């Protein structure tokens, strides 16, 4: 991937008008509740990451917003329209990169992107899009001959070629090599600078930290936490950790004043602490803490239910 899409450099900025409004969203498959009362808004120009373990309900939520799945209950508005009633003009404002896609294997990259561009009223330049996803050298290659990561880049090209107002990216960089992932981030930043609203799911927490303004964590269909990337999880989850080694082995200390702690430690032992590190919890650390707390809560609720059930026997 080489050149991000060339866009006007004036940042559209974030406004408070919601592009996506979700209230008490519920989705059931038979007896299984996959999405359980989820509510959130996404404002214009925002990049919003939906995070959660496998099976948490992220794709189900996104597919409901895209109009691909009907909800069981709750209110959903996407660009002011209920997705269950969205018409073609509404769909033309969305860009969608699904988790799995089925491009035609026998057409070339350029033919496929060109064909998609023709569906939209104001498409981007096809060659510019192909360059932005780093496939210029493969533009005449049949899609069936591309690697998995290259096919994923075609998916991304198809998602952005229609110049969407709202872009859905469901695990967009799965299969990308590290360099391709960084180029993809540049592409997303340029779309964001243009004012595109983006809803992203990813299992790469560094990707969410790099791209998202806000993240929401869902676990077992419930919204566990929502907020700006640098405050999610609360202050307590972000206390720095000082790590060093002494005769007793690896030592750790959580402290809000790591510099003062290290000064005192060095003075006490009379030398530089061995293998010294000051670690600020990453989004991944915070996320893992939130998900394990949610798991523990769910396990408690299950054992309480069983206990109540047992008491009635």
Ligand X SMILES: Nc1ncnc2c1ncn2[C@@H]1O[C@H](COP(=O)(O)OP(=O)(O)OP(=O)(O)O)[C@@H](O)[C@H]1O
Asked whether position 34 contacts ligand X by CB under 6 A, the answer is: yes
Is 222 an interacting residue with respect to ligand X (CB under 6 A)? no
**Residue 159 sits in the site that holds ligand X (CB under 6 A):** no
Residue 151 makes contact with ligand X by CB under 6 A:
no
Does residue 56 touch ligand X according to CB under 6 A? yes
**Dihedral pair phi/psi, residue 139, rounded to 5°:** -65, -25
Q: Which of 47, 15, 13 is nearest to 197 (CA)?
A: 47
Q: Considering CB under 6 A, how many residues would be counted as binding ligand X?
A: 10
CB-wise, 96 or 113, nearer to ligand X?
96
Q: CB of 108 within 8 A of CB of 60? A: no
Quick check: 10 binds ligand X (CB under 6 A)? no
CA–CA distance, 133 with 157 (Å, rounded to integer): 6
Of the candidates 217, 157, 167, the one whose C-alpha atom is nearest the C-alpha of residue 44 is 167
Phi, psi of 104 (to 5 degrees): -70, 120
* 153 binding ligand X? (CB under 6 A): no
200 neighbors 36 (Cβ within 8 angstroms): no
172 touching ligand X, by CB under 6 A: no
Decide: is 138 part of the binding site for ligand X (CB under 6 A): no
- Given the rule CB under 6 A, which of 5-13, 49-57, 139-147, 277-285 is the region that contacts ligand X? 49-57
List the one residue from 59, 93, 150, 202 that touches ligand X (CB under 6 A). Answer: 59
- Report the residue number, 38 or 191, with the smaller CB distance to ligand X: 38
Locate 232 and state its tokens: 């999610």
Residues 6+ apart with CB under 8 A from 266: 272, 273
Q: Given the rule CB under 6 A, which of 53-61, 175-183, 231-239, 280-288 is the region that contacts ligand X?
A: 53-61
Minimum Å gap between C-beta 52 and ligand X is: 5
3-state secondary structure of 97: strand
Q: Which of 57, 67, 83, 258 binds ligand X (CB under 6 A)?
A: 57
The only residue of 45, 52, 95, 123 in contact with ligand X, by rule CB under 6 A: 52
Q: How far is the CB of 28 from ligand X (least distance, A)?
A: 9
Instruction: Supply the Cα-derived Rg of the chain in whole angstroms.
Output: 23
**Using rule CB under 6 A, residue 202 touches ligand X:** no
Report d(CA 159, CA 169) in Å as an integer.
8
Rounded to the nearest 10°, the torsion over CA 132, 138, 142, 148 is: -70
80 binds ligand X (CB under 6 A): no
Q: Could you tell me which stretch among 57-65, 81-89, 122-130, 293-301 binds ligand X (CB under 6 A)?
A: 57-65
The encoded tokens of residue 11 equal 């940042």
Q: Are 280 and 240 in contact (CB under 8 A)?
A: yes
Q: Which stretch binds ligand X (CB under 6 A): 16-24, 56-64, 290-298, 305-313?
A: 56-64
CB 154 within 8 A of CB 146: yes
Among 8, 10, 29, 121, binds ligand X (CB under 6 A): 29
Report the interface residues with ligand X, using CB under 6 A. 29, 34, 52, 54-60
């Amino acid at each position: 991937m080489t050149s991000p899409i060339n866009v006007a450099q004036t940042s559209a900025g974030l406004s408070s008008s919601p592009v996506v409004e979700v209230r008490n969203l519920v989705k059931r498959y038979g007896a299984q509740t996959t999405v359980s009362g989820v509510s959130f808004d996404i404002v214009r120009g925002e990049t919003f990451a939906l995070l959660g373990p496998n099976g948490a309900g992220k794709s189900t939520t996104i597919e409901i917003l895209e109009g691909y799945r009907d909800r069981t209950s709750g209110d959903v508005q996407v660009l002011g329209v209920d997705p269950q009633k969205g018409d073609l003009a509404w769909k033309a404002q969305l860009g969608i990169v699904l988790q799995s896609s089925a491009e035609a294997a026998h057409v070339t990259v350029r033919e496929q992107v060109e064909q998609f561009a023709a569906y939209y009223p104001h498409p981007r330049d096809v060659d510019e899009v192909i360059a932005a996803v780093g496939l210029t050298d493969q533009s005449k290659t049949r899609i069936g001959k591309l690697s998995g990561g290259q096919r994923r880049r075609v998916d991304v090209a198809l998602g952005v070629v229609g110049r969407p107002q709202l872009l859905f990216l469901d695990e967009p960089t799965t299969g990308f090599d590290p360099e391709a992932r960084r180029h993809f981030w540049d592409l997303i930043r340029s779309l964001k600078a243009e004012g595109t609203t983006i809803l992203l799911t990813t299992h790469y927490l560094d990707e969410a930290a790099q791209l998202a303004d806000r993240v929401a964590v869902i676990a077992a269909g419930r919204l566990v936490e929502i907020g700006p990337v640098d405050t999610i999880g609360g202050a307590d989850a972000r206390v720095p950790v000082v790590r060093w080694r002494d005769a007793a082995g690896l030592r750790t200390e959580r402290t809000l004043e790591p510099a003062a702690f290290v000064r005192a430690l060095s003075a006490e032992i009379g030398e530089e602490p061995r293998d010294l590190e000051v670690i600020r919890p990453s989004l991944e650390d915070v996320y893992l803490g939130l998900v394990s707390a949610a798991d523990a809560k769910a396990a408690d609720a299950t054992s309480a239910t069983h206990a109540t059930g047992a008491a009635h026997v």
